[in-house]
Amino acid sequence: MNTLSLHDAKDSSAIENIITTHDKPALRRVRRVSLYAQWENRSFYVTASLCFPVKKFYILACSKKVLRSVADALESRYRLMGSCFKWRLTMKKLPVGIQTLSTIIEDDYLYIDKTEIARSLIENYRYVFLSRPRRFGKSLFLDTLKNIFEGNRELFRGLLIEEQWDWEVTYPVIKISFSGGIHSKADLEEDLQYILKSNEKRLGLECENRTRAQHFFAELIEKAWEKYHQKVVILIDEYDKPILDNIDTIPEALIIRDGMRDFYTKIKDNDEYLRFVFLTGVSKFSKVSLFSGLNNLEDISLNPDYGNVCGYTQLDLENSFTPYLEGVDMEQVKRWYNGYNFLGDKVYNPFDILLFIRNQRTFKNYWFETGTPGFLIELIKKNSYFIPKFIGLQVNESLINSFDLENLRLETLLFQTGYLTIKRLIPLDMGFGYELGFPNMEVQTSFNDYILQSVTCVSENEPIRRELLALMKSGDVASLEPVIKRLFASIAYNNYTNNDIERYEGFYASVLYAYFSSIGVDIIAEDVSNKGRIDLTIKAGGRTFLFEFKVTDGEPLEQIRTMKYYEKYEGERYLIGIVFDPKPRNVSKFEWEKL
C-alpha cells in the first residue's frame, strides 16, 4: 500500500474515524498520504509524507485549521506526543524558471501533477507534436516524459502515474534542445554536433559516422537500440528556435529550415527503432516545409484531451496555490492572467502566476516582458494593419495551424506566439473556424502599449494614457479633445513617410484603439448594431462611450444620432464624433453629446 486517501473529512473526528479504519502496520508501509479535506466550504487537496516511527508530518497547501485537525486526529490515534510528533504548515518553494523535474522533486519545489496527461499521451501516440507559446512549461513537460521513459520512479512517488506505469521497463532517450546563437547553416551543424555528442556520452555509445549531423543522428538511434535492446525515445525541445531566431532575415531562415528538414528526415528513416517521438515548439510549420515524410506526426496542440498539458488551470490555483494567494482578489488574477484557450480548460501562463506570487502579489506584465514582439510590430506597420481587428478576429482552421516563412500571416504569428487566443469556435458549412482575441488584461494592455511606443514619442505616451483613463472613469468628455490632439501630435513623423496612411479612417481608429486598449478599459471595435457599425465603443466607470470617425469632412455625430447606434446600450451614454484632417494629421472637429 503506497497511498492512503481520506475523503470527506469535514472535521477532526471525521478524519480520526477514517484513520482508525487503517491499522498501524498498514500505515507503516505508507510513503505519502493524499488527503481531501473540506473546511468552511473550501476544498483542499494536500499531500503529506509519513515515516515510522513518526518524526515529522508535513502537510502541503492546506489551511491551518485543517492542518491542526489532521494533527489532532493522528496524535489521538497513535498517542504521538511531545517531540515524537511535529507538525508545521509547509509552503513549498516556487519553481520559477526550473525546467528539470528532478530539481523540482528533490529540492521540494511546488509541482503541478501533469503525469496522468503524460501517461495518456505515451499510451495513445507514437509521433507527437505540441505547439505552445514561450514560458508555458513545454520544457518541463518534455523532461517529465524523459524521466518516465528512463524509469526514475523515485521522482514520481505519490504522483498519478506512479501506480499506472511499469517502471521495470526503461528506454534509451535522445533529447535535443536548441540554444540560441544559430545564424547560419554552419552554426546549425555545429550546434547539432554538440547536442548529439552529449547524448552519445550520456548513453555510453561510440558512433563512427560524425561527418554530418544527420548521419550522426541516424547512427546514434540505431546504436542506442542495439545496446539497450529497447526501442528509442526521441524528445525535441524548441524544435523551431533556430528558424524563429532568424525570422527577420527570411533568406537565412529558409536556409536553416532546409538544414533542419534534412536532419528531421532521419526520424522517419529509423521508424523501426523508435518507441516514441515528441517535438515541441512555439510555431507550427507545415509538414511539407519542415517534416517532409513524417506524415504520421500527430498534432495535439488543439486536441481538447490535451488542452491542459501546459499551463495552470483554475482548479490548480484553487487546490495548490491556496496558501500563496490568501487575501488576493482572485477575479482580478483571472482577469489579468487567465484566458489562454487550447480547447481544454482556460489556462494561466505558469510564469505569470509564479512571478506574481514571488513579487508580493503585484499585478505586472511578467510574461510579456520576457520577450518583445518587435518583428510583429514591424509587420503591423509595414502592412498598415487595422489594429482593432485584433478583437473578434475570425479565421479558419488552416490559417492558425500553418506557419509559412514565404507567406507570413500576421494572424498566424500572433496566435502561435500567444498574443491572441481562441475566444470561441465558429461552426461552418465545412468544418469550423475560430474567433480570436487577446487572452487577458496583461497581453491586451502590454501589446497595445508596445505598439504605441513604436509610433509615438515615448515621453508623451504615459502621461496621455493616465489622463485618458482618468477622463473615461470620470466621464469628463469635454476634456477629451485636447488629450486626443496631444496624442496624435506625439506620433513620430517618419511613420507617415512614403505612404498616405493618414488619409484613411482606419489609421486614426487604430491609434485610438491602441491607446484605449492599453489602459485596460472594455473596448469593442466596429461594434455591430441592427442599424450598422459604430467605429469604437468603450465601457468605463459604468458609462458607455460611442465613437464615430471621419477623415476630411462629414458629420460623424449626426450619423450616430441618425443610425441610433446607442439604442443597444442602457444607462449613461456619450456620443462622440471626430473628424480628422490629413494635412496636420490631427483632429479638426470634435463634437459630443450625453444621453
459: confidence class by pLDDT, cuts 50, 70, 90:
low
Tally Cβ neighbours within 10 Å of residue 83: 7
Higher-confidence position of 495 and 226: 226
Of the listed ranges 8-12, 53-57, 346-350, 396-400, the least confidently predicted one is 53-57
The answer to whether residues 409 and 420 touch, using CB atoms and an 8 Å cutoff, is no
**pTM over cut 0.85:** no
Residue 490 is given by DSSP the state T
Average pLDDT, the chain: 80
Of the listed ranges 274-278, 288-292, 323-327, 334-338, the least confidently predicted one is 288-292
What is residue 11's predicted lDDT score, i.e. its pLDDT? Answer: 41
Q: What is the pLDDT of residues 236-249, one digit of tens each?
A: 999 888 988 888 88
* Pick among 3.40.50, 3.40.1350, 1.10.287, 3.30.300: CATH of 456-594: 3.40.1350
Q: What is the pLDDT of residues 104-155, one digit of tens each?
A: 999 989 999 999 999 999 999 999 999 999 999 999 999 999 999 999 999 9
What class, spelled out in words, does domain 101-306 have in CATH? alpha beta
What is residue 229's predicted lDDT score, i.e. its pLDDT? Answer: 95
What is residue 584's predicted lDDT score, i.e. its pLDDT? Answer: 78
Q: How far apart are CA 568 and CA 144, in angstroms?
A: 52
Instruction: Report the phi/psi class of residue 498: left, alpha or beta, with left for phi > 0 and alpha for psi in -120 to 50.
Output: left
The answer to whether residues 561 and 576 touch, using CB atoms and an 8 Å cutoff, is no
pLDDT score of 270 more than 70: yes
What's the whole-number mean pLDDT along residues 545-571? 87
Q: In a 3-state reduction of DSSP, which class is residue 336?
A: helix
Per domain, the residue ranges of the chain are 3-90, 101-306, 312-359, 372-441, 456-594
Higher-confidence position of 256 and 294: 256
Q: In a 3-state reduction of DSSP, which class is residue 524?
A: strand
